[in-house]
Amino acid sequence: MIKQPMLTRLTCYLDSLRTCLRLDSKIKKDVLKELYTHLEDKSQELKESGLSEEEAIETAVKHFGSVQSIARQTYEVYSSGTWRQAFFAALPHLIIALLFALRAWQSIFWLTIILLTVISVVLYGWWHGKPVWLFPWLGYYLIPVIVTGILLVYLPGGWFWLAVLVYLPLALFVLISVTKQTITQDWLYASVMLLPIPIILGWALALGMSKDFLSIERQLHETKGLVALSFLILAITVAIFIRVKQRWLKAGALLTPELLVLVIVAVASRGAISFWLWLGLVILSIFLIFSPAWLERRLTQNHQ
Amino acid sequence: MLDQCRVVIEKEVTKMNYERELLKGNTDALLLCLISHTPMYGYHIIKEIERKSNGYFQFKEGTLYPALHRLERAGLVRGEWQVLPNGQERRYYFITEKGKQVLAERLTTWQNFSSAVNSIIKPTSA
């Protein structure tokens, strides 16, 4: 039987491991259980060899190695998804790319099918342990919330403020709670989820939201190839993100193509996006990719 | 005196790095070989490595598990929780058919390599 103060030392070590291990919850539980049994065996053996309980646990922990090193190596074992997962994660971006490539964005039928598919996939994934492929789909699930917010601008005066007062807190609540829940699994998943937002915003600005519908339609027709290409790049980005092992490569895989797409958007805008506006979009991209890391740190500190 | 100490430390570090690299390149084969004799759990594997190598192989014990899980993900071993007679649970690792094939290949490669190295290193009578 291990005494309470030493149990605390062991618990502290395992708690640090729990915090550093960025794994699927079921795998994490299994890994922690296995590591605990090892430490239990080791400290028991050391105690039998004549060490005090305190010394035994301290030595067992010391021999076990640094939390960060074990967490990093374990992460690299599980972080690389299969090609199947990569394809499924890239699928929502591919669907949007096809929507534009085939000029089907006007079809209510296809838009409804896509919306229903996104809702079904997200609900399925959310209730089945939030697998890694879920998060790009989750991003598209949240986009209607943001788009509705943008469209409120076009409501007549009094209605606009009423809608803002009701809608904005509700939309923010949904966005923040989904992002927070995603971050608890891994902040990089939240970055993947938020990835298309600057691109969609960029295209919306490039096509001139203030102009009439026919003008937008004409411009969209002219740039459909580039719009499709930008979502195809996002699909490839997500597939690479799923396949690579190291965290810094994953973050790099998200940032680099995102900036490339923003260059494409700026070129296609034919001056509608000024340099400063483009810079704003770049800053927004960097913020959306890396702010989840900061938020995760805050959440962990609050939890501790 | 200080310089001599530095030289000794540098030599020791170089030797340790070399040994670590050798071990790193052969971890999978060593683990597969041990598990192929009898299914084992993590701590049991550590003890066996220590016993069979007379304490030559020393590494941070926690790093064993990422290696075992990597083998499991590759389908070379299969992990399974089993209840011991004292009621405690341990995760045993079993070698798979694929694991046996890979082990056989690795052993052949290792034997060829070591005999080639030996034939160069060892002084010949000729």
CB pairs under 8 A between A and B: 58
Give the burial string for A47-84 (b: 16+ CB within 10 Å, else e). beeebebeebbbbbbebbbebeebbbbbbbbbbbbeee
Chain-chain contact of A38 with B43 (C-beta, under 8 angstroms): yes
| Inside any domain, residue B62 | yes
> Given the structure tokens 């459909």, which residue do they identify?
A224
| Inside any domain, residue B7 | yes
Q: How many CB atoms lie within 10 A of CB B50?
A: 14
**pLDDT tops 90 at residue A246:** no
Output A205 or B41, whichever has higher pLDDT.
B41
Output A300 or A214, whichever has higher pLDDT.
A300
Complex ipTM value: 0.81
Q: Is B80 on the interface with A (CB under 8 A)?
A: no
Local structure of residue A132 (DSSP, 8 states)? T
d(CA A288, CA A259): 12
- The string of pLDDT tens digits covering residues A156-190 is 767 777 777 888 788 888 888 888 888 888 899 99
The percentage of chain A sitting over the pLDDT mark of 70, rounded to a whole number, equals 93
Sketch the domain layout of chain A as residue ranges.
Answer: 4-77, 81-303
When divided into structural domains, chain B yields a total of 1
**pLDDT tops 60 at residue A1:** no
pLDDT at A209 (0 to 100):
56
Q: Which pair of structure tokens corresponds to residue A42?
A: 């080791």
d(CA B83, CA A150): 58
What is the domain range of residue B87?
A: 2-117
- CATH number (domain holding residue B98): 1.10.10.10
Q: Nearest to residue A163, comparing CAs of A182, A177, A148?
A: A148
- Which chain A residue lies closest to B43 (C-alpha atoms)? A38
Interacting residues of B32 by C-beta distance below 8 A, sequence separation 6+: B71, B76, B77, B95, B99, B102, B103, B106
Mean pLDDT of B11-32: 75
Q: Is B78 on the interface with A (CB under 8 A)?
A: no
Long-range contacts, B3-10 (Cβ 8 Å, 24+)? none
What residue type is A160 in one-letter code?
F
| Inside any domain, residue B126 | no
| Inside any domain, residue B59 | yes
| Inside any domain, residue B68 | yes
pLDDT at A135 (0 to 100):
93
- The string of pLDDT tens digits covering residues B74-87 is 999 999 999 988 88
d(CA B80, CA B93): 6
| Inside any domain, residue B89 | yes
**Whole-prediction pTM:** 0.75
| Inside any domain, residue B44 | yes
Mean pLDDT of A255-263: 89
| N-term to C-term CA, chain B | 44
